[in-house]
A and B are shown apart, each in its own frame.
Chain A
Amino acid sequence: MLKKTNNVKFKFRTTLLTSISLAAALTAAGCGNSNNNNTDASPSAAPSGSASSTASAAASGSASPSAGSELPPVELTWYYPQNAANPDLQLVNDAVNKITKEKINATIKLMPIDFGTYEQKMNTTTAASEKIDIIWTSNWLFKFDTNQQKGVFLPLDDLLKTHGQKLRDSMQDKFWDDAKRDGKIYAVPNFQVSASRPSLVLQKRFVDKYNLDLSTIKKIDDIEPFLKQIKDGEPGITPFGTTKGFYTGLMYNIDNKVEVYRDDTTHTVLPDVTDELKHSYELAHSWYTKGYIMEDAATLKSAADAYNKGTTAVWFDVTGKPGSEVEFKVSDGGYDVVLAPLAQSTFTGAASTMNAISRTSKNPERAMMFLELVNTDKELYNTLVYGIEGKHYTKTTGDYIKINQDAGYFTNTDWIFGNITNEYLPEGSPADKIAQTIKVNDEAYVSPYTGFVFDTEPVKTEIANVNAVKEEYGASLGTGTLDPAKYLPIYEEKLKKAGVETIRAEKQKQLNEWLAANGKK
């Protein structure tokens, strides 16, 4: 009997050990998961070091502005966002390398990442101090300001002088000013439409059918009768597509650099919830209840979800850039669209798409030479945008080309790579697209607050909590899913508790200081 208990005891021990091993395996699996979500950032951030800074310092010592063949061969990596993966990326990459090898004896490793994960992926990549050379950045995705503050980018002034003079001269100062922080240039803007002209995008077939006179559309409310016609006459068509709503201060005479009424001589920073925003929410809610906006609008994730099935008659686009008819046509199921501008265009700055050189780059000179090449070499630029001639596109007449969308390389994002004045025109673009672009940039309203950058550091805590509140209510109020009469007060209350007023006060303080320092007040 005694022996038996011992035996049982031993068995128990074995069970215990087995289960501990199993449990350990379980925990291990758990760890793997937590590494993927971004709250647990320490593991990926650990392998940082000082090696990178010394490497770039050593490299910058050897300046040799000369022809490609005399330079030692190097490989550069370039991270930028894309809509979708292209099966022929390698082919195009090889074609790009052929050009760059010859001209600057460098090969480029193209690293496209989809728009949805770009921010997160780049946050991790840069936090881990990975050795990369060129990073695409902007004021809306992988933000230039915050990342510059975190020390992600290399200052470019000297490099532009030694290796990029041609590039420096290709754009006016007002473009470079947007890439400046503390008087130094940190990125190369891609010349494109740097102005926003909030517009409605309408499917041409419905505009023609219902004889809509576009000149009668002066503000967004004016479109309502047309939406009703669609609702009544076109079953299966969503009258108005939106994912986050259609509010922008640009439509309501609010400055784009800091939230101040353009004609306000007291320079008072506006609260987050303005009367105009309130009106926009009310309008959205009335459209939602009338069935003009799709039921699921608030759960849609990407802006293109609002129209990419071709079943949406009207949607809102904040940029409304010349030539965007072609881009919308390919992404809305092939239907022609027309634009109805709702406001004067505003120079929103070149910061909406830029390429910067990483602090961790081992070959910053060569990266600068590449950036100059991509912005000045027509062949290289068009290869990146459209792929290989004869395979992914064919030339038609003049600068026009016919794109074969299904051939394996299709970007639809000329503005990611460089100066769009070098591009071939896809069929259907207005012949004066480039001239129009330059004109819009030249004529756009330039904010008197250009140069003011809000330093978020003192109110980081509040911003984090305000962001969370905005994420919670923004889409549901913007799309009209929630009734603003009931939920707007709740939203405002929550914003207040999250510290929105502290942020506004800090912004006002910084603005006043900036105005005083610049002799504007």
Chain B
Amino acid sequence: MKRGKFLKFVSRNGELFIFSLPAIIYIFIMSYVPMFGVIIAFKNYVYDKGILGSEWVGFKNFKFLFESENAYRITRNTVLYNLGYMFMTTVFSLAVAILLHEVAKKWLKIYQTAMILPFFLSWVVVSYITMAFLDHQNGFLNGWLEGIGLDRVQWYFKASVWPYILNAVHLWKAIGFSALVYFAGILGIDAELYEAAKIDGAKRWQMITNVTLPQLTPLIIILLIMSVGNMFRGDFGLHYFIPNNNGMTYATTDIIDTYIYRALSELGDVSMASAVGLYQSVVGLILVVLANYTVRKINEENSLF
């Protein structure tokens, strides 16, 4: 009986399932098939013995991350930055999506294109753009500062400014795509609801707070739950290339991923690197399940699963 229901659900939404097929295949090949490789994390992987032939070492590979004096610093940075990114991206891209929907009908395509463009740039390219602003000798920012009679700032040596820079750069790159997702969500809202609100005499602001936002809530929550899963997985490119991987700013830019890179790139130890990857994934999974559980407690309709 239950199976019949599921099949019916599938056949009713056939087109949508076909749409998601490429992503499902991609994830299956790139994420599920190699999953067998996680056993490397518990082995001392030596190439000529192969993955199965290498010696088991238990949790030894996990040791270095937790024994590190920097464990606290990198965990704090990773989590705080991700919270910051989550909050900023959600708030600003919601605002932009609503603005696009409410006022920008005429230049819609131009706004959208301009905003989504940075999303397709690699972090290396972005790092040169930020360098054009922050370069100590020739950067725009120092030029302006001197122009208005202030002292030049050595941005790349100054740890305290980086939380702001990184949040700004991340927002600049992420807002286009995120706003597009919310904009698509708004377009999906039944026009009848707006008509009904209009008949009841609702103002624009009231329509936003009483129609748009409540209708978008499930979407917002889904996206939030998904990003909670990445709470322990920092954006390596952003934190490595934008601050120019500079020792003097590690206090505020170093995250788990960049630390691991620094500690292991010379050692080239696949097993230790896998151990960290596994640790991040397991914590991510726990966080997703917890977040979903909380949402379901509050409102079952809105939970992801």
Contact = CB atoms under 8 A, between A and B. Distances in A.
B37 A464 contact: no
A61 B157 CA distance: 59
B148 interface: no
B90 interface: no
Contact of B48 (A19, A359, A482): A359
Contact of B247 (A21, A42, A473): A473
Contacts of B31: 31, 43
A42 B34 contact: yes
B248 A34 contact: no
Contact of A42 (B63, B222, B274): B274
Nearest to B272: A464
Given A35-B30, A468-B262, A28 B23 contact: yes
Given A25-B23, A460-B267, A461-B63, A42 B16 contact: no
Nearest to B243: A299
A14 B188 contact: yes
A46 B47 contact: no
B295 interface: no
A32 interface: yes
Interface stretch (A4-12, A82-90, A218-226): A4-12
B268 A467 contact: no
Interface string B152-180: 00101100000000000000000001000
A152 B254 CA distance: 32
A37 B262 CA distance: 12
Nearest to A35: B30
A27 B68 contact: no
Contacts of A35: 30
A34 to B, nearest CB: 7
Nearest to A17: B16
Contacts of A497: 69
Given A298-B246, A298-B247, A299-B156, A20 B30 contact: no
Interface in A227-242: none
A23 interface: yes
Interface in B20-50: 20, 23-24, 26-27, 30-31, 33-38, 40-41, 45-50
B50 A49 contact: yes
A49 B48 CA distance: 9
Contacts, number: 221
A472 B219 contact: no
Interface residues of B, number: 84
A450 B34 CA distance: 43
A46 B36 contact: yes
Interface in A447-486: 456, 460-465, 467-468, 471-476, 481-482
B50 A19 contact: no
Contacts of A16: 218-219, 222
A45 B266 contact: no
B69 A7 contact: no
Contacts of B237: 33, 37
A503 B181 CA distance: 52
Nearest to B46: A151
B267 A467 contact: yes
Contact of A15 (B49, B60, B157, B218): B218
Nearest to B47: A151
Contact of A461 (B53, B67, B218, B236): B67
Contact of A37 (B137, B261, B270, B272): B261
A8 B33 contact: no
18 contacts: A7-B190, A11-B188, A19-B219, A23-B226, A24-B24, A26-B226, A27-B27, A34-B233, A42-B277, A53-B48, A119-B268, A123-B265, A147-B268, A298-B248, A456-B267, A460-B272, A462-B64, A468-B262
Given A41-B274, A295-B137, 13 more contacts: A8-B193, A18-B188, A19-B181, A20-B20, A28-B30, A31-B27, A127-B270, A149-B46, A301-B245, A462-B64, A464-B263, A471-B262, A482-B248
Interface of B: 13, 16, 19-20, 23-24, 26-27, 30-31, 33-38, 40-41, 45-51, 53, 60, 63-64, 67-70, 136-137, 154, 156-157, 177, 181, 184-185, 188-190, 192-193, 215, 218-219, 222-223, 226, 230, 233, 236-237, 244-248, 250, 254, 256-257, 259-270, 272-274, 276-277, 280
Interface of A: 4, 7-8, 11-12, 14-28, 30-35, 37-43, 45-46, 48-50, 53, 119-120, 123, 126-127, 129, 143, 146-147, 149-152, 295-296, 298-299, 301, 359, 456, 460-465, 467-468, 471-476, 481-482, 494, 497-499
